[in-house]
Structure 1
């Protein structure tokens, strides 16, 4: 019986060591990193490529229709977008793999004026290592990550973050 338990423990330790040795290195994005480029289509059928926004600040918000904090901050994001869009700050709301019907209903309900795109394959979410929703990645005009914000933001937070990434 002791031999069986010992063999099970050795197997478990071996499996753990093997998994740790062969696991992919997942780099967590941080301020100063180059923002990974991507291309996603919005609800109107327009393609948005992050690199097309070079020279502008990008307020990249990852969200879901089921996410209560996401729903609370969307109207404030829209109001601030209206204030900052002519100052070189763009908003891209990246929905995580929900149906176009759900996302369109949400966008209509909140009368969102900024582009709403759907990350159908979760490839952008994976590239940015997004775990909690909402998460907002602030991309400066040089295409670098200025800040990563997790959790719900107030309207004052949003205004301050847009000021941070506004071109000079």
Structure 2
């Protein structure tokens, strides 16, 4: 019986050593990722009001291409969002109501989803019966170009194609109405 207990002790030590190695490896990876993120985040120029809005082309849920420069002469309410983002979900119905009010006045809404599946995004669009174009930034290239953190973030682009304002966080319907008024031609 003593021999059985002796055989288990080295196994426990080995298991503990393996677990410690795994935990240490994960910590090293996490620290490395954090350092990499900090270094590369500085490579992206931070946009500000007055800058020319970077052009891009993305497809909507029907396969139509939307190029930002095609909307020159109109105000563009460029909203970056995700279906998992609670503030994004809360502000979408208000954005849709205001879009219906301002669309005829030259204000366009482009909702840029960050790299989710077409199924997830289409289900979301259907659930809220959204009337404005919803595009998916599959490669996150537009998110990177605009240096988007956190979600939601809305970039207000004036009719000249310049950034009028950058809004981070959830907006009320009154905020949305005021911002659309701000970029109306």
TM-score, normalised via structure 1 length: 0.86
**Alignment partner of 1:100 out of 110, 115, 118:** 118
**Alignment partner of 2:65 out of 27, 47, 58:** 47
Could you tell me how far 1:27 is from its partner in structure 2?
1.5
Counterparts of 1:77-92 in structure 2, within 5 Å, are 77-92=95-110
TM-score, normalised via structure 2 length: 0.78
In structure 1, the residue matched to 2:158 is 140
- Partners of 2:44 and 2:144 within 8 A in 1: no
Deviations 1:65-99 (A, max 9, x none): 00000000000000000000000000000000000
In structure 1, the residue matched to 2:179 is 161
Could you tell me how far 1:26 is from its partner in structure 2?
2.3
Q: Structure 1 pair 161/23, CA: closer, same or farther in 2 (3 Å)?
A: closer
In structure 2, the residue matched to 1:152 is 170
In structure 2, the residue matched to 1:65 is 83
Could you tell me how far 1:23 is from its partner in structure 2?
8.2
Moved over 6 A (4+): none
Question: Structure 1 CA distance, aligned partners of 2:45 and 2:55?
Answer: 16
Question: Structure 1 CA distance, aligned partners of 2:101 and 2:86?
Answer: 24
| RMSD of equivalent CA atoms | 1.6
Gaps of 5+ in 2: 1-34
Gaps of 5+ in 1: 1-15
Give the number of equivalent residue pairs: 149
Bigger Cα Rg = 2
Equivalent position SS for 1:90:
strand
Q: Structure 1 pair 143/98, CA: closer, same or farther in 2 (3 Å)?
A: same
Equivalent position SS for 2:63:
coil
In structure 2, the residue matched to 1:126 is 144
